[in-house]
Copies of this chain bind each other. A is one copy, B any other.
Amino acid sequence: MGNNRIWTAALLVIGDEILSGRTQDKNIAQVATWLNRQGIRLEEVRVVPDVGARIASAVNELRRTYDYVMTTGGIGPTHDDITVDSIAAAFEVPVIVHPEARRILEDYYATRGGVTAARLRMARVPEGAELLPNPTSGAPGVRMDNVFILAGVPGIAAAMMEALDGKLEGGRPMVSATVGAYAAESEVADLLREAEAANDGVAIGSYPFFKDGRYGANFVVRSDDGNLVERTAKDLERRLSEAGIEPFSGGI
């Protein structure tokens, strides 16, 4: 069968702005999608406030539980950007100015007013960390052991992940297929359970919606075996048709 190891990750979102409801998070979905493409399963997300001890204890718990930890937020130049300090505290190492990060910032700000004390904050890393390229805005991300420190601005986080594409060890990506139906979940509950039981190794999730005045649900078939996913989706469509419910391949 080869290597069936499952690689896991957690995401730590650092930000008062998410917990206050001011900002709608956009990083969870994009980190989840990117990790899946790397063959890594996002197993947990936590959102914590901009409080050093809270960040450090979450990082320590998560990095010991999962293969990888991604963090977003708190790596800019302002006083509320405390992610690097908090993660250094978690690893019990000092914070240093990374020479290559300093050079990157000097280049980036050469035509933008030069490196000030505030900007130099963005060259600070936990001792022993490596840099992650930031193709969009100068200040690099940071890798400390299995912890990947990304920007909070979704576009910059996306660019950092793109630069990391294919560089993390992973297993087989999860594959999914969606079948939708205009039917109340409660009408198809038995049929779903039976379809899942008949196709060993898949998980079927049911996600109800109310759209254009009609109730319905999308059924998502997931596995790391693409053929099994396809077979199960067909099986589910057949079962829905036999129950007099029109299935929509690809979902509604």
Determine whether the beta carbon of B78 is less than 8 Å from that of A192: yes
Cα(A208)–Cα(B118), bound, Å: 14
Interface: A127 (CB within 8 A)? no
Determine whether the beta carbon of A32 is less than 8 Å from that of B28: no
Q: Given contacts A20-B36, A29-B21, A118-B190, is CB(A76)–CB(B185) below 8 Å?
A: yes
A23 to chain B: closest residue by CB:
B207
How many of these chains are in the complex? 2
- Listed stretches A38-46, A85-93, A231-239, A240-248; interface member: A38-46
Determine whether the beta carbon of B16 is less than 8 Å from that of A222: yes
Determine whether the beta carbon of B205 is less than 8 Å from that of A16: yes
Chain B positions within 8 Å of A17 at CB level: 205, 207, 220
Chain B positions within 8 Å of A189 at CB level: 77-79, 118, 121
Interface residues on A, range: 35 or more
| Closest 6 pairs between A and B when the two form their complex, measured CB to CB | A21-B32, A118-B189, A21-B33, A45-B47, A77-B186, A79-B193
| A–B pairs, 27, beta carbons within 8 Å | A13-B45, A16-B222, A18-B28, A18-B32, A22-B176, A22-B220, A23-B207, A24-B29, A25-B25, A25-B28, A44-B49, A44-B54, A46-B46, A77-B186, A77-B189, A78-B188, A78-B189, A78-B193, A79-B189, A79-B196, A79-B204, A79-B206, A80-B203, A116-B186, A116-B187, A118-B185, A118-B187
Q: Which residues of A contact B (CB under 8 A)?
A: 13, 16-26, 28-36, 41-50, 54, 76-81, 112-113, 116-119, 121-122, 153, 155, 174, 176, 184-190, 192-193, 196, 203-210, 220, 222
